[in-house]
Amino acid sequence: MKTYSFEFIIGLIVIFIAGWFLIGVLLKSEEISNLGEVTEYTASFDDISGISVGSEIKLAGVTIGRVKKLSLDSFSYTAEVVLEISSKIKLPSDSEIAITSEGLLGGSYVSISPGGSDTFMKENEKFSYTQSSLSLNNLLQKFFSR
């Protein structure tokens, strides 16, 4: 009779790692969806490469919301983004919003830099200051074309 202790141990390790990964994904999605009351804002960008519905919105590195909807303005050909941000966060009316990358291999997210205005944005208000995502391919192409 053969013993399968090695295969059994490897199987347990695989099941443990898969369970650990699943728990991590569930906790992360719960963290994003547990924003409580949300306020919607909009923003227009020339390029939103790397952003999709559900992408995180961060302020000072802390997740404060998520992207709700993406669409294309057929008149200006800009990307229109609807954002859901926790109602606990009051954004100054001159805040800047940008598409940011977590690094060379990391994903993209929406970053907000609060302004210094004494007035705050209202629900469904549009961000005045936006910065589109930077394409690494375009930057390298410009660098090497000189």
β-pairing verdict for 38-45 and 79-86: antiparallel
Any idea where the domains of the chain sit in the sequence?
A: 1-34, 37-135
Which residues are 45's β-sheet partners? Answer: 79
Element holding 117 (H helix, E strand): none
Among the listed residues 97, 66, 70, 96, the one whose alpha carbon sits nearest the alpha carbon of residue 84: 66
Question: Of 5-14, 16-25, 43-52, 97-106, which gets the smallest average pLDDT?
Answer: 97-106
Which residues are 109's β-sheet partners? Answer: 100
- What are the structure tokens assigned to 141, written together? 């192409």
pLDDT digit string, tens, across residues 96-142: 999 888 766 678 889 999 988 889 988 988 888 888 876 666 666 77
The overall pTM is greater than 0.85: no
Among the listed residues 91, 89, 86, 90, the one whose alpha carbon sits nearest the alpha carbon of residue 115: 91
